[in-house]
Amino acid sequence: MSEKKVRVRFAPSPTGPLHVGGVRTALYNYLFAKHHGGQFILRLEDTDQTRFVPGAEEYIIESLKWAGISPDEGQGFGGEYGPYKQSERKAMYKPYADQLIADGKAYYAFDTPEELDQMRENAKQMGMPNWQYNSITRSNMKNSLSLSAEEVEERLKKGDPYVIRIKMPRDLDIKFEDTIRGWVSVNTNNLDDKVLFKSDGMPTYHLANIVDDRLMEITHVIRGEEWLPSAPLHVFLYDAFGWEAPKFAHLPLILKPDGPGKLSKRDGDRLGFPVFPLNWTNSDGEIYSGYKESGYFPDAFVNILAFLGWNPGDERELFTLEELSTEFKLERVGKSGAKFDPDKAKWYNQQYLRKRSAKELADLLQTYIGENNLKTSPFELEPVCELMKERATFIKDIYEDGHYFFGEVDKYDEKTLSKKWKENTSALMSEWLEILKNISSFKADSVETEFKDFITKKELGLGGVLPNFRLLLTGVGSGPSLFSIAEILGKDECIKRMELGIEKINELKSQEA
């Protein structure tokens, strides 16, 4: 690689919440920077003032922080190359556009948006769906190349609105090497005279992006595939300024799980998985769900995104952010779009849940309960988590599947009741209750031994009796080791639940009869 220190940027437009594709682009930039000991920069591309969305900037920053991929410098993070928001850099761009005009590489254009619309409309009527402002059509338009010098001068003096367009030459092959895709070549005949500077005094993305990347000493541009078509223009601009272009890498898109097309914001809630890192409420009050609020761990989220387009080349799949940083190479990023797989995403979360200690899970569960105003448990959360973690994908599963640790048992699973609870079961359970009352140690082992002695004496099978005991303690027909549950509940609670349960079930059974 070059001797220059690696500096990469993530440059979203704050026009709404960041979607997973954007977060993945940020992640790859972050990983690339860390891998090379470089800087990861956040720059906000807000040159379109009409698309300003309140809260979007904060959302982007919060999302990156949550995912653990905070920029080293940039909007909200400080740094020597600021400001990092293009609207605050407004005054910097015009001189560069002027320079291009002075060099004859750009020109003023006075056509109004309405005139351009009309032009495109007319062309479409005539069967040309793709009218472009280019080396052929510009001579028919109102610009400093077609108008006399005097008229141009006069219009400028008068304050006529104008834009500055790049003067794209005819029949020139522009080539550049994309780190992911190899050589890409485009002939300028297929490129148009893009607007570089708008009539509102702001640059377009194309100009701002080049100028800022230059000023911020960006070495590698890693961005989505949707930018590939305009990359030749950017390469041309670097050349026009006489600047060395950064290296480019265009990432494949993330596609929707069903049907064709790229993942869009509505797919998530339609298909039952989030497409945003955090919850987002739009101006109509519509809520889009986020990974965080859906119960995904940030490290799982990062792992999921990393593998959407990248792999280490071997069969490992679980990587921490640090491990990803050391392993990540742009060359191992695939070229083709990846469909998002919600099932695999859940699997990842399950893996990360299981990697966590009971203590960590207990803390997370406590937070979850607090945030959602749920019932607290009279029991120690740590053993509960230890017991439940093998069957949980999300923290909420521990709470929901283990609801009997958080409140009274007031319902009894009907299927188990009808299948396992026989006529003599109540008597049997009462008998067992009496034994239970006399157990001195209420450890899982002791309870298990006593229970097994009991059914051996009764000449009964475990499968016929245990489900009923479970029903009394938990109200459900399945779950983790019942003896461990009994230990957590404790002797008094078990006795209470059994007495109450036998009574309630007797009532239920008599109603049936």
| Residues identified as active-site | 265
Nearer to RNA, 68 or 477 (CB): 477
Q: Which residues 319-338 are close enough to bind RNA by CB under 7 A?
A: 332, 334-338
CA atoms within 13 A on the CB side of 154: 5
Beta bridge partners of 287: 281
Please say whether the dihedral angle defined by the alpha carbons of residues 44, 47, 53 and 55, taken in this order, is positive or negative: positive
Residue 83 near RNA by CB under 7 A? no
Residue 315 near RNA by CB under 7 A? yes
Residue 347 near RNA by CB under 7 A? yes
Q: What Å distances lie between residue 464 and 308, 413, 422, 433, 480, CA to CA?
A: 48, 15, 9, 17, 17
Nearer to RNA, 58 or 507 (CB): 58
390 vs 385: CA distance, rounded Å: 9
Nearer to RNA, 266 or 335 (CB): 335
CA atoms within 13 A on the CB side of 397: 17
467 vs 414: CA distance, rounded Å: 12
User: Cβ of residue 512: shortest distance to RNA, in angstroms?
Assistant: 23
Binding mask 217-246 for RNA (x = CB under 7 A): --------xxxxxx----------------
Q: Which residues 392-421 are close enough to bind RNA by CB under 7 A?
A: none
Residue 317 near RNA by CB under 7 A? yes
Q: For RNA, which residue of 5, 339, 411, 419 counts as binding (CB under 7 A)?
A: 339
Residue 248 near RNA by CB under 7 A? no
Give the distance, in angstroms, between the CA of residue 49 and the centroid of all CA atoms in the same chain. 26
Residue 204 near RNA by CB under 7 A? yes
Let me know: does 228 contact 184? Beta carbons within 8 Å. yes
Beta bridge partners of 107: 165
Residue 378, preceding peptide bond in cis (omega within 30° of 0): no
Taking Cα atoms as reference points, which of 176, 65, 156, 60 lies closest to residue 108?
156
- Residue 485 has φ and ψ, to the nearest 5°, of -60, -45
- Residue 178 has φ and ψ, to the nearest 5°, of -90, 130
Tokens of 116: 């351009």
Q: For RNA, which residue of 1, 260, 510, 512 counts as binding (CB under 7 A)?
A: 260
Residue 422 near RNA by CB under 7 A? no
Q: For RNA, which residue of 78, 95, 169, 261 counts as binding (CB under 7 A)?
A: 261
Residue 30 near RNA by CB under 7 A? no
Beta bridge partners of 91: none
Q: What is the DSSP letter of 198?
A: -
Helices 20-35 and 298-306: crossing angle in degrees, nearest 10, is 90
User: Cβ of residue 490: shortest distance to RNA, in angstroms?
Assistant: 17
Let me know: does 197 contact 204? Beta carbons within 8 Å. yes
Nearer to RNA, 65 or 181 (CB): 181
Binding mask 40-79 for RNA (x = CB under 7 A): -----x-xx--x----------------------------
Residue 479 near RNA by CB under 7 A? yes
Q: For RNA, which residue of 270, 329, 344, 411 counts as binding (CB under 7 A)?
A: 344
Three-state secondary structure readout of 148-214: CHHHHHHHHHHCCCCEEEECCCCCCEEEEEECCCEEEEEEHHHCCCCEEECCCCCECHHHHHHHHHH
Residue 306 near RNA by CB under 7 A? no
465 vs 185: CA distance, rounded Å: 75
User: Cβ of residue 263: shortest distance to RNA, in angstroms?
Assistant: 9
Let me know: does 42 contact 23? Beta carbons within 8 Å. no
Let me know: does 87 contact 47? Beta carbons within 8 Å. yes
Q: For RNA, which residue of 268, 467, 475, 501 counts as binding (CB under 7 A)?
A: 467
The SS3 of residue 177 is: strand
Nearer to RNA, 264 or 376 (CB): 264
Stretches 11-19, 57-65, 360-368, 433-441: which one binds RNA (CB under 7 A)?
Answer: 11-19
Binding mask 118-157 for RNA (x = CB under 7 A): --x--------xxxxx------------------------
Contacts of 141 (CB under 8 A, 6+ apart): 109, 111, 119, 133
Stretches 59-67, 197-205, 234-242, 429-437: which one binds RNA (CB under 7 A)?
Answer: 197-205
Nearer to RNA, 400 or 507 (CB): 400
- Name residue 389's amino acid: K
User: Cβ of residue 373: shortest distance to RNA, in angstroms?
Assistant: 27
Q: For RNA, which residue of 112, 279, 325, 446 counts as binding (CB under 7 A)?
A: 112
Nearer to RNA, 184 or 240 (CB): 184
Let me know: does 245 contact 2? Beta carbons within 8 Å. no
Stretches 33-41, 144-152, 319-327, 464-472: which one binds RNA (CB under 7 A)?
Answer: 464-472
Cβ neighbours of 418 (radius 10 Å): 10
Residue 466 near RNA by CB under 7 A? yes
Binding mask 154-173 for RNA (x = CB under 7 A): -------x-x----------
Q: For RNA, which residue of 252, 274, 295, 402 counts as binding (CB under 7 A)?
A: 252
Contacts of 415 (CB under 8 A, 6+ apart): 477
User: Cβ of residue 219: shortest distance to RNA, in angstroms?
Assistant: 20
User: Cβ of residue 104: shortest distance to RNA, in angstroms?
Assistant: 21
Stretches 7-15, 210-218, 426-434, 492-500: which one binds RNA (CB under 7 A)?
Answer: 7-15
407 vs 376: CA distance, rounded Å: 8
